[in-house]
Structure 1
Amino acid sequence: MSNVLAEKRALIVGAVINFLMAMAGWAAYYYSSSQAILLDGNFSFIAFLVTLIAIKISAIKSNRTQTFPLGQFAYEALFSFAKGILLIGVLLMAFSANFSKIIQYLNGESLVPLNGEVILYYTPAMVVLCFSLAYFCHFQNRKVNFSSTILKAEFTSSRLDGVMSLATGLALISIRFVDIDGVAGFLHYIGDSLLVIVLVLLLGKGPFVLVRDSFIELAGGQLQNQQDRAKIMAVLEARFGTEGMLKDSFISKTGSSYLVVAYIDSQALGSLSMADLMTHKHHIVAELADTYPNSTFEIALT
């Protein structure tokens, strides 16, 4: 299956599911007054919007133009970078809003208690949808050897959303059994805000990692995925590893496009002719294409 088909299938499914989850989240917030549920709905709506953009990027990324002779794969990395920034923004806004709500409660302001009944129905549905979408994206990405940056971003976003939905639902359902007039009665008013702050602190790492990796791709840095790096190095060493010919290498990734450069020690070539060197290159290009279809391989003599 081609990268484009795998991505398009996952992204269309993702757009539909995220839109449904956003509508469900906002409706649940209306009936429950839960800030945690509002965060969940906002999270899903942002995912829906950026998925529409991702569908367009998936369709054009491999197109070669005069401006982009090697394809437009940089849009993939830019998409992942922007999505990571958006996720960080949502988490920071949620942290700020809910911290403010806690301060209001501590200052004696009147707040509306949570209505946990709707959450009994909302939570199971959201958890199933989120994790189903996350692992559908993971499954589609596995078909293309995890080369799709877009599907990686979708998997990260959906899994994060699923964990948030599960934790939020369990916590808010538990609050229903707390006596509102008892010692822990404050949980009916700010329990969801406390939960949001904990979730932001625990789950905030994922978007930052996504931003970091995407930035490295945009800047043309070395490939960060060590498993992919090991696979590519094994291909190079199988051809050039003997007699110290392979002096160094450079492997970078931009979206689902890979650039591999093998630095060959010209002093170690021995009797290997230029024709033999080109034969090795063609074999390596073919081997890389089996796993990384959008790959470019070059040899640099040093």
Structure 2
Amino acid sequence: MTQKKVEQRAFMVGLAMNLLMGSLGLFVYYLTQIQALFVDTYFTIMTLISGIAAIMISRFSVKTSKRFPQGHFMFEPMYAAFKSSMTLILLTTSTIQVSQKAYQYFVYHKGELLDLTPIIPYEIVMVILCLTISLFYSRQNRKIGGASTMLSAESKSTRIDSIMCGGIGLAAFLVLLIPKNSSLGFLLYTGDFFVTVLLVLFSITTPVKVLKNAFIEICGGRLIDEKIQNEFEVCLAKHLGRDIKMNECHIYKTGMYFSIKVMIDDTSEKINAALLRDKKSRILEELQTYYEFVHLEFVYV
């Protein structure tokens, strides 16, 4: 199975799971009207919609044209950047909304008692489903050497969702233990504020990192993943051997597409062109057993 087929199959499975989770989330939010739960549900629905886009991009990015002879792989980090930006917007908006509700309670003593009972069983189910799909995405990406920018983004995004679900469920359980007239009774009205803020603070670094890595790929920056970098360099050193001296190796990643530029000494009179072509062919043959889309270029310096 090709790397793209593995990626697309993973997204199809994730699509079905997110459809189930989104439906459950909307139903429970309708019953409780708790903002922290809305964050979690909206997050799942956003993942469902973006999963459809991911499948379309995965199928389209490999297509070549006269203008884009190497394919349209740029759409893959663009997808990751968009998904992370939407996540950050969602987290920020939710924080503002729950802050307004908490302000109304603490300043004007206006608020409604939170209905937390339906949340606990729902969140237990959601944590199991989210961790399952996150682990599935991660394992599928490992099958293709961690080459998929989109699977990596989805795996981390779904992991954030599981953290949100777990935090909301735990908080709901603890708040239910609080007597209404106790010193902590205000949590029965404002508990979703504290839970949402804590979840945002705990999870916000992940979309920021994904956004940073996506922009590095979009802007043509060098590969960040040291594991993949080492794999490529070991392969190059093995095949080039003592015949060709490699000064530097620059690896660039755009989605699933890898571009390798190998800097070699300007000793063209000593390097047989046929030998160089043979080594290039052998290097690509080995690399493409793990990474489907690889371009190799030798640069004399």
How big is each residue's C-alpha offset from its partner over 1:56-100, in whole Å with a ceiling of 9 and x where there is no partner?
011111111122110111111110110010111111111111122
| Pair 1:181 & 2:173 matched | no
Match of 2:100 in 1: 100
Q: Secondary structure at the match of 1:234?
A: helix
More moved, 17-26 vs 160-169: 17-26
Match of 1:85 in 2: 85
Match of 1:286 in 2: 285
1:241: how far off?
5.6
8 Å contact kept, 2:244–2:271: no
With normalisation by structure 1, the TM-score equals 0.96
Match of 1:12 in 2: 12
More moved, 131-140 vs 237-246: 237-246
Seen in structure 2, the aligned counterparts of structure 1 residues 297 and 118 have a Cα distance that, compared at 3 Å, is same
Q: Secondary structure at the match of 2:150?
A: helix
Match of 2:56 in 1: 56
8 Å contact kept, 2:3–2:291: no
1:244: how far off?
7.5
Q: Secondary structure at the match of 2:173?
A: helix
Q: Secondary structure at the match of 2:289?
A: helix
Q: Secondary structure at the match of 1:291?
A: coil
% of aligned pairs identical? 29
More moved, 68-77 vs 101-110: 101-110
1:53: how far off?
0.7
1:248: how far off?
1.3
Unmatched tracts of structure 1, length 5 or more: none
Q: Over the residues paired in the alignment, what is the CA RMSD in angstroms?
A: 1.5
1:8: how far off?
1.6
1:128 is aligned with what amino acid? I
Match of 1:234 in 2: 234
How big is each residue's C-alpha offset from its partner over 1:4-57, in whole Å with a ceiling of 9 and x where there is no partner?
221222111222222222222222122223211111001011111111111101
Match of 1:74 in 2: 74
2:21 is aligned with what amino acid? M
Match of 2:300 in 1: 301
Unmatched tracts of structure 2, length 5 or more: none
Count of aligned positions: 301
1:106 is aligned with what amino acid? F
Match of 1:210 in 2: 210
8 Å contact kept, 1:77–1:254: yes
Match of 2:271 in 1: 272
1:109: how far off?
3.6
With normalisation by structure 2, the TM-score equals 0.96
